[in-house]
Structure 1
Amino acid sequence: MTKNEQICLELVKAESEQEVVQILKKCKLWDDDVNWQFFGGEENNFSVIGNQQSRPESAIVEKFINSVDAVLMAECLKRKIDPTSDTAPQSIRKALAQYFDVFEGKLTNITPAERSKLAEKIGFVATGSKRDPNYVIYDFGEGQSPAKLPDTILSIRKSNKLRIPFVQGKFNMGGTGVFRFCGDHNIQLVISKRNPEIALHETDPSKEQWGFTIIRREDPKQGMRSSSYKYLAPANEILSFDAASLPILPSAHPHAYGKPMEYGTYLKMYNYKIGSGLRSPVTLNLYYKLSLLMPQIALPIKMYERRDYNANSLETILSGLSVRVDEDRSDNIEDGFPTTGSMTVKGQSMKYSIYAFKRDKHKNYATDEGVIFTINGQTHGHLSKAFFSRQKVGMSYLQQSILVLLDCTDIGGRAREDLFMNSRDRLSNDTLRFEIEAELEDLIKNHPGLRELKDKRRREDVEHRLSDQKPLADVLKDILHTSPTLSKLFIMGQQLQNPFYTQPAAPATKFVGKKFPTFFTLEKKFPTDKPKYAQMGSRFRVTYKTDVVNDYFDRSKDQGEFKAFINDEETTHVDVNLWNGFGYLNMDLNGYVIGDQLKIRTEVMDVNRIEPIMEEFYVLVTDPQQRSTPTAPSSRRRPSEPNNGNEETQPAGFALPTIIELSKDGRSGHTWEEHGFDKNSALKVLGSEEEGYDFFLNIDNIHLRTEIRGAKPEEALSIEGKYKFGQVLLGLAMLKDSTKLESSDPENPSMGIFELIEKSSQAWSPVIIPMIDNLSALDLSSETEEVLEEVG
């Protein structure tokens, strides 16, 4: 064994950056600046490297992406194909299909056994201590020779992959985002050897050698304004040695090393600052988080826990959120979901998948992420779950249960730059982002499946308690009517009604769709003399009846095709989605003026048809201020049979909030657990202005119980009443001002109005009863008034 090989193996088995420093000091490699070269060949590299991912888990994802790219590159180069040529796969999914026989390039389309076999190509290992873990990422990809390392793994801002269509890591940052999270010295070990099948056709004299180096951060020196990153290369040469293999891969538990590695790349990040919430075995919380950050990862990854843990499972396969959800669908996902579709914003086409989790089943899939924006299966930004509680969405009852994946892979390069920050882990504040949000607001608000599920959840929470709440509603009504100021808070000024005061609706029948449609017809005709009204510069929607399955336009095999024509010219500014026997077409009318009458033709075609199913209707462009006659959201409904006497009911009106009491022991009919309450919880609000608000009150709040215990028995009801209606009135006041309080900033998710009310109600709970009692008894003498005037 050569000296260099010995040093390399000692660095592999070092379990802290202090050990790394000691090893290099012993070899006289740590202290002498001549042994270290600037990372990327740039002295001022900290400004670039330090501006990467803000979260340690997101930085790890970048390393995984590089490993996936390396494996795909290896398959291409082994076949002697120029990766920049037209003969190379033109997308990641095509590469997966061509090189690994993954249908459509989606891991959901192969078996668990096949995914497990693929996962042997990329590994992730946790070693060291529980508190300060080390993470190893290795892959059996193309690998790099010692001579090529400075221009590949150790480079920044070079165009190595820019013209290669089937890889994702085109930013050439070398996965540098992890550096800042590696201990105090930001130390990372890099080991690599060229894949022998590729090296066979190359002339590089170091192609059969292992190369290794250490990356570290150096503090600013005299005359320098910032730190810099350097890598170990004595005499400007990467340390290298000859060896057929290295015993550095994890072997049987609990051994972190021992299995031979013959080629590829091996990275070790020492004392990684992953955060307290993700330090547990990598098969648990970190696995869940990484699945979320790579919902549709191209290749699976084998994860090994090799620290001193006794978890039930210490190895697992990371295949992304889509695979996790697909495997557990029957237990965790509501019937009919996920539902898929496409949307077009400013000419940019995106595909979406909407997941609706069963009650309390979302926790292991997403925490605060509501809408996840992805490119090639990697998360590039998200909107928080507060998005669903916006007034324009009105899905607060499903806020915790909805997860939307928005695939932005096909958007243009300029649009990608406008939508995402360069760090690739958060959204920008560009107009494109807000137009996409507006489109999503409309999509979620009007999605018939989500509307049905929301109504179902609300009934479960509220309906069977309404009779018990009428006295509370009567008291609240009296309070509001006796005060002109308070009555203005009364939303829409309507009369008090049962939120489930009903009118007949047709019975629900389970929809069973056909593989191919036998009809796809307009629910309402719009002939030339009675056109559909649509406001200038906006979009309109029309509804079709059909008998086809919901995934007809989005499935992988035998996909249906929908085309729309305006005055016989095809337009791409259309979105169509299906739900249980109805099709919903949304079309943009940009570029047309008031008074234009447009002929719209739609065609539905698939492999089962000789001629398309065609429909034709007319649209009249109207003044944006003019009230048009589009189909109202509430008219979206289930296919139904003629009324046979078995009637459902649907909401017909809403006014004052429904007040539901929650107690610790359930004596009120609802328990804390139903809404995640504890002793400090006070008020939770769900619902929308359009369909009514439901106020959930904690009658076992610790401050309320304290007040009651200190009072006379006959005063208990009065104290409880002050507490309840004080909370409700303050909640109403915040709702009235909610348009000012709502925020669309994903970095500030706590500003959702419902979450803000929930947190604020906890804050004012200790003072609400003393405030009511003391202020009502306050005697403002002239002397007191003078003091107040001076203070004012």
Structure 2
Amino acid sequence: MQEAVKRFFPEEHKTWDLRQFRRKQAENIQIIADGPRRNTSLIIYDDGEGQHPEDFEKTFLSLLRGNKNEIHFVQGKYNMGGSGAIVFCGDKGYQLIGSKRYDGNGKFGFTLIRKHPLTEDEARAKKNTWYEYLVINGKIPAFDIDEMDLGLFNRKFKTGTVIKLYSYDLPSGIADISKDLNYSLNEYLFEPALPIFTIEKPERYPHTPIPQRELYGLKRRLEQEDSKYVADYFSEDYFDQEIGKTRVTCYVFKSKIEGKTAKESRETIQREFFKNNMSILFSINGQVHFHYTSEFITRSLKFPLLKDYLLIHVDCTEMNPSFRSQLSMASRDRFKDGKESRKLRAFLTDHLRKSKLAEIYKRRKDSITVEGGDTADLIKSFTKSLPLNSELMSLLNQTFKLDEKKEKKKHKDQGNHKPSKEEKEPFRGKRFPTYFRLKAQNDGKTPVAKIPMGGEKTLKFETDVENHYFVRVEEPGELQLALLNYEPNDKTGGDKPGLPKKIEDVFNVVKSSPNDGIIKVVLNPTRNVQVGDAIQLKVTLEGPGESFDEIFWVKISEPEEPKEKPKPKKEPEEDKLGLPPYILVYKEKKDDNTLTWEQLEAEAGVEMDFDTVMHPLVEGEMLDRIYINMDSRVLKNYKSKLSTPEQYEIADKRYITSVYFHTLFLYTITRKRKYVIHRMKDNGDEEYVDLTDYLKDLFENYYSHFLLTFEVTEILN
């Protein structure tokens, strides 16, 4: 697609990042609202090729002709995309098509498509209706024009195509076409070839501040240098023999935007970047075809703190066509539950959990970590009233990872901690690299690394280029790998044809973006190589500036022996129990072992206010910790009826114990019984509800009032 843009718009495309030039180009493709608000029609104008009237029946009105199969930079292959919109054109299915060829020759042709209204006799005889189009005397109606006023923005119609979709059934939440539809299309057209206008009419929304907005894809909005939303982004390039080539780009949003609360920040980010509830976007030639929701982030990646703050784009353009064609349903709007889609999900999970995302998640989690509550005392109190051999205790043993023994060891080793390293100066990358070198001794002859069969090896390269060099919109660079020489192991014969010619023949490859001066390349041998083979590689860092090469040898080694896990020592039954810690949170700072609402909001985007009772941090299948709000309205109302410090202390203990153990049991039982929670949306659709959100919402809605009136004195005593 990008090659086509450079070919047809060789100079123009370089200026589209400037708003005045982008708006001028966007006039050539317009989506215009028409009709009353409650019965919106859409006009779509494209100043493109256009068609002669006599060609309508084999272009606009044809089905299954496959006239795009050999044009790689256009979407579609069955010639049915335009027809698919008819079913959304009101009860009568009206759609108007008008067109004139780009060179001005010929007439302007038009036709009207509709759903055939069945007569009484037809209704009795036919099972279904059909769609039909207007002809006069067997021909598409046509007449001569120089130009026409069709209500386009800033121009009259001369050539191209215009389509009107009458009474169009827009998705819920889309009213103002210039804004709401713009945000929605920005997600689906992640990186469109050309800018587009979405236009609202003043008579429909007279108070709309910007009735004409240009649309140029979510990618460019995310990668603006002065973005107030995005904290960081990076990309990784993957090659797998079965899947082919993919580029995965991860965008991590700020948990708190300047001038907004955590709640306002999250709502703004969701409205502007996740309008269609798509967290992982899979695109071909810049257009999104299918997606995952945030469920992938919480359940597969196990990064719950990033659930509302992470968008991942997977470019499938260079995937193996045979693999890609098996991923989606025929409608190409959602995944098919097949072995290919399951392999892709597992592949992405494995690589992303080892990527820079893991570092980002750890930083966010560490920022809201303190010593926490005295979980051991709770365990002792709890076990007095619950037999150790009960099913519930067994259930807890299976679910939670922290045990008393680890806690004791932690306290024992506290005096032996190492001093923290001095903080490094922040990395300041250059726009173009001035050096690029392998971070290993390389004499050009001796292999710099041994790569085990069935395993992988990470090679690191040092450079001084900025982190976004590979993914930035303007003047990006690229890392290229090439196979220079191949020396097979002569000890073993074989019947495979010839020697490998390409890097893809010998390695599955992962290439990462520069990260503070380091570029990583991960090599995993394919089945085409054998132990003892020596391979000479050339790695080139290239771009608009100077290019740099590193040439070196690697060798294929024996598979690594699986590491034997030490056998766990048998421990007394009472030492097996493990429980997640709790952390107390207050509106204002209390001490070093507690957090504040502001810390949770600013560092991790976790909203907490007077209505919040607790926030469980769930990572995959593990309840990692529980944040308990000590300034909740529930606790304050309960304590307002008390008068002495002793009563306040007992109330705090009652509250902490009740919230902690009820969260614990609700979580454990839900996981153990394998419940999956869904909620009905306003439009009637079901949406998956994360267990964290479910438990948090449960406690905010009267459940916690019951807890404080429930008798737990036996535990407290």
Whether these two folds match at TM > 0.5 is yes
More helix by share: 1
Q: Could you tell me how far apart the structure 1 residues matched to 2:90 and 2:586 are?
A: 47
Q: Which secondary structure does the structure 2 equivalent of 1:116 belong to? A: helix
Shift of 1:722: 3.7
Match status 1:98 vs 2:7 = yes
Q: Partner of 1:645 in structure 2?
A: none
Q: Could you tell me how far apart the structure 2 residues matched to 1:601 and 1:768 are?
A: 70
Matched AA of 1:289: S
Matched AA of 1:130: R
The 1:548/1:574 distance shift into structure 2, 3 A limit, reads same
Q: Partner of 2:572 in structure 1?
A: none
The 1:388/1:329 distance shift into structure 2, 3 A limit, reads farther
Of 494, 518, 521 in structure 1, the residue corresponding to residue 438 of structure 2 is: 521
Match status 1:269 vs 2:176 = no
The 1:659/1:171 distance shift into structure 2, 3 A limit, reads farther
Matched AA of 1:659: Y
Match status 1:288 vs 2:288 = no
Q: Partner of 2:309 in structure 1?
A: 401
Matched AA of 2:97: V
Count of aligned pairs between the two proteins: 629
Q: Partner of 2:348 in structure 1?
A: 440
Q: Which secondary structure does the structure 2 equivalent of 1:504 belong to? A: coil
The 1:730/1:341 distance shift into structure 2, 3 A limit, reads same
The 1:558/1:313 distance shift into structure 2, 3 A limit, reads closer
Verify the 8 A CA contact 2:281 2:312 in the aligned structure 1: yes
Q: Partner of 2:218 in structure 1?
A: 321
Shift of 1:766: 5.5
Of 169, 185, 192 in structure 2, the residue corresponding to residue 297 of structure 1 is: 192
Q: Could you tell me how far apart the structure 1 residues matched to 2:560 and 2:677 are?
A: 29
Q: Partner of 1:208 in structure 2?
A: 107
The 1:727/1:679 distance shift into structure 2, 3 A limit, reads farther
Q: Deviations over 1:116-152 (max 9, x none)?
A: 1211111111122223322111111122232222221
Match status 1:133 vs 2:40 = yes
Verify the 8 A CA contact 1:596 1:620 in the aligned structure 2: yes
Q: Partner of 2:538 in structure 1?
A: 603
Matched AA of 2:549: P
Q: Which secondary structure does the structure 1 equivalent of 2:245 belong to? A: strand
Shift of 1:721: 2.6
Q: Which secondary structure does the structure 2 equivalent of 1:426 belong to? A: coil
Verify the 8 A CA contact 1:389 1:399 in the aligned structure 2: yes
TM-score of the two chains, using structure 2 as the length reference: 0.75
Q: Which moved more, 1:171-180 or 1:294-303?
A: 171-180
Q: Could you tell me how far apart the structure 1 residues matched to 2:30 and 2:448 are?
A: 64
Q: Which moved more, 1:676-685 or 1:664-673?
A: 664-673
Matched AA of 2:283: T
Shift of 1:172: 0.7
The 1:756/1:692 distance shift into structure 2, 3 A limit, reads closer
Q: Partner of 2:428 in structure 1?
A: 512
Q: Could you tell me how far apart the structure 2 residues matched to 1:152 and 1:719 are?
A: 73
Verify the 8 A CA contact 2:659 2:707 in the aligned structure 1: no
Of 654, 660, 682 in structure 2, the residue corresponding to residue 725 of structure 1 is: 660
Shift of 1:97: 1.0
Q: Which secondary structure does the structure 2 equivalent of 1:338 belong to? A: strand
Q: Deviations over 1:96-116 (max 9, x none)?
A: 11221268x7x7964222211
Match status 1:232 vs 2:134 = yes
Q: Could you tell me how far apart the structure 1 residues matched to 2:462 and 2:674 are?
A: 36
Q: Partner of 1:616 in structure 2?
A: 553
Verify the 8 A CA contact 1:305 1:315 in the aligned structure 2: yes
Identity of aligned residues (%): 22
Q: Partner of 1:55 in structure 2?
A: none
The 1:489/1:329 distance shift into structure 2, 3 A limit, reads same
The 1:303/1:762 distance shift into structure 2, 3 A limit, reads same
Q: Partner of 2:365 in structure 1?
A: 458
Matched AA of 1:490: F
Q: Which secondary structure does the structure 1 equivalent of 2:214 belong to? A: strand
Of 470, 488, 511 in structure 1, the residue corresponding to residue 373 of structure 2 is: 470
Shift of 1:520: 2.8
Verify the 8 A CA contact 2:447 2:552 in the aligned structure 1: no
Verify the 8 A CA contact 1:553 1:561 in the aligned structure 2: no
The 1:519/1:319 distance shift into structure 2, 3 A limit, reads closer
Q: Could you tell me how far apart the structure 2 residues matched to 1:563 and 1:478 are?
A: 62
Q: Could you tell me how far apart the structure 2 residues matched to 1:492 and 1:218 are?
A: 68
Q: Could you tell me how far apart the structure 2 residues matched to 1:177 and 1:700 are?
A: 54
Q: Could you tell me how far apart the structure 1 residues matched to 2:295 and 2:166 are?
A: 36
Verify the 8 A CA contact 1:332 1:358 in the aligned structure 2: yes
Verify the 8 A CA contact 1:661 1:670 in the aligned structure 2: no
Verify the 8 A CA contact 2:448 2:552 in the aligned structure 1: no
Matched AA of 2:330: N
The 1:567/1:318 distance shift into structure 2, 3 A limit, reads same
The 1:698/1:597 distance shift into structure 2, 3 A limit, reads farther
Q: Partner of 2:510 in structure 1?
A: 575
The 1:710/1:122 distance shift into structure 2, 3 A limit, reads same
CA RMSD, Structure 1 to Structure 2 (Å) = 4.2
Q: Could you tell me how far apart the structure 1 residues matched to 2:548 and 2:148 are?
A: 63
Alignment of 1:276-675 (within 5 A): 276-279=172-175, 281-306=176-201, 307-327=204-224, 329-334=226-231, 337-345=232-240, 346-359=242-255, 360=265, 362-363=269-270, 364-367=272-275, 368-390=277-299, 393-448=301-356, 450-460=357-367, 462-463=368-369, 466=370, 469-471=372-374, 473-478=375-380, 484=388, 485=393, 486-493=396-403, 495-496=406-407, 504-505=420-421, 507-513=423-429, 515-516=432-433, 518-522=435-439, 534=452, 536=454, 539-551=456-468, 556=475, 559-563=478-482, 568=487, 569=500, 570-572=502-504, 573-577=508-512, 578-591=514-527, 596-599=531-534, 601-606=536-541, 612-622=549-559, 625-626=562-563, 657-661=580-584, 669-670=596-597, 674-675=605-606
Shift of 1:398: 2.1
Shift of 1:597: 4.5
Shift of 1:740: 8.5
Q: Unaligned 5+ residue runs, structure 2?
A: 256-264, 488-499, 566-577, 679-684
Shift of 1:720: 1.2
The 1:690/1:304 distance shift into structure 2, 3 A limit, reads closer
Alignment of 1:695-774 (within 5 A): 695-698=626-629, 714=647, 716-730=651-665, 733=668, 737=672, 750=688, 752-755=690-693, 757-758=695-696, 765=703, 769=707, 773=711
The 1:579/1:737 distance shift into structure 2, 3 A limit, reads farther
Q: Could you tell me how far apart the structure 1 residues matched to 2:15 and 2:422 are?
A: 38
Match status 1:154 vs 2:61 = yes
Q: Deviations over 1:32-56 (max 9, x none)?
A: xxxxxxxxxxxxxxxxxxxxxxxxx
Shift of 1:381: 0.8
Q: Which secondary structure does the structure 2 equivalent of 1:605 belong to? A: strand
Verify the 8 A CA contact 2:401 2:580 in the aligned structure 1: no
Shift of 1:770: 7.7
Q: Could you tell me how far apart the structure 1 residues matched to 2:57 and 2:327 are?
A: 32
Q: Could you tell me how far apart the structure 2 residues matched to 1:619 and 1:768 are?
A: 64
Q: Which secondary structure does the structure 2 equivalent of 1:388 belong to? A: helix
Shift of 1:231: 2.1
Q: Could you tell me how far apart the structure 2 residues matched to 1:479 and 1:590 are?
A: 56
The 1:433/1:265 distance shift into structure 2, 3 A limit, reads same
Verify the 8 A CA contact 1:521 1:545 in the aligned structure 2: yes
TM-score of the two chains, using structure 1 as the length reference: 0.69
Verify the 8 A CA contact 2:429 2:466 in the aligned structure 1: yes
The 1:562/1:366 distance shift into structure 2, 3 A limit, reads same
Q: Could you tell me how far apart the structure 1 residues matched to 2:326 and 2:607 are?
A: 38
Verify the 8 A CA contact 1:522 1:615 in the aligned structure 2: no
